Amino acid sequence: MMAAVEPSPSLFVRPLGAVENNPTALRLILGGKLRQLRVNAGLDPADVDARLGFSRSKTSRIELGRHGCKPADALALLDLYGVSAEEQVAEFMRLVTQSRQTDWWRSFSDVLSDFFEPLVALEGAAATIRTYEPFYVPGLLQTPAYAEAVIRSGPGHLLTHDVRRRVELRRERQRQLDTPEAPRLWAVIDESVLMRTVGGPHVMREQLLHLVGMMERPRVTLQVAPLEVTASVGVGTGVTYLRFALSDLKDAVYIEHLTDSTFSQKPQAVEQYRDMLDRLGACALTPKQSLELLQQRIKSL
């Protein structure tokens, strides 16, 4: 009796989970794997470009996830790097096909700022989203009416259509929290957020009631940071930290500014802001204390 043939080992850390449905994350993972295979083959990007007849820097763009990998290019790269096992090639090509799907947020390109795009593109693939907001309720926890009031309060004059589209975009982002593989959301808000009556008492009361409801979800943690805490920790702006379950994806941090933002996956920056969020969470009110404060504020409206 012949011994069973061992299947070829996977090229990827499995399972991929929510990443399977996130083309942007898949492109980053595929690019990172191709970079690893190239390095193992002892080649540099220029060598690959020359051997496969690619345009200059095409290999580097594919490896950075900035350039979608065409099926023909993927097959050529795998062949060059010595990947021939049928199972591995089939697995890689399946993910290439997935990565070429259109990201859901592309339909909001009319109102999605370039600097906001990296966060929207990857937050659904995260295992954990940690965020601190000094001025408003985090976007992922906003009601439509509160979101509209926040959007209208921003710089410049927006047409009603643009305001509605931005609210719709926020709602689509929130729907990612309703999926079976939803990220764990840990939000810390400044105490002043509760005192700021955005949109009027009715809108604010509805918003705070929504927060109370969201706190009942097992994958949502909300803390309120007293004013003296945020003053001592030294947080001056909104921060969102994305932690991924897969080693193929680097953790990221998104820092808000007045008219733009910074999105970084550099280890030093990520570690700095993760440490800040750790200190903030340790000093903030517990979820139970935060809930009590929310309920007090609701009664006062």
Cα(76)–Cα(52) distance, integer angstroms: 7
Q: Give the pLDDT confidence score for residue 8 in this predicted structure.
A: 64
271 near 153, Cβ under 8 Å?
A: no
User: Which residue segments constitute the domains of the chain, with CATH numbers given?
Assistant: 17-99 (1.10.260.40), 105-300 (3.30.870)
What tokens does 170 get? 């926020």
What are the helix (H) ranges across the chain? 23-40, 45-52, 58-63, 71-80, 86-99, 117-122, 144-152, 160-175, 191-195, 201-214, 227-233, 267-283, 287-300
In order along its 301 residues, the chain shows pLDDT tens digits of 334 444 567 788 777 888 888 999 999 999 999 999 999 999 999 999 999 999 999 999 999 987 789 999 999 999 999 999 999 999 999 999 999 999 999 999 999 988 899 999 999 999 999 999 999 999 999 999 999 999 998 777 889 999 999 999 999 999 999 988 899 999 999 999 999 999 999 999 999 999 999 999 999 999 999 988 877 776 678 899 999 988 889 999 999 876 678 999 999 999 999 999 999 999 999 999 999 999 999 999 9
- Helix or strand run (H / E) with residue 22: none
Calculate the CA 148 to chain-centre distance.
Answer: 22
Cα(139)–Cα(261) distance, integer angstroms: 15
For the beta carbon of residue 87, count every other beta carbon within 10 angstroms: 12
pTM: 0.90
Question: Furthest-apart CA pair in the chain: how many Å?
Answer: 79
Beta bridge partners, 250, equal none
Cα(176)–Cα(81) distance, integer angstroms: 37
Cα atoms in the 13 Å half-sphere on the side-chain side of 281? 16
32 near 63, Cβ under 8 Å?
A: yes
Calculate the CA 24 to chain-centre distance.
Answer: 10
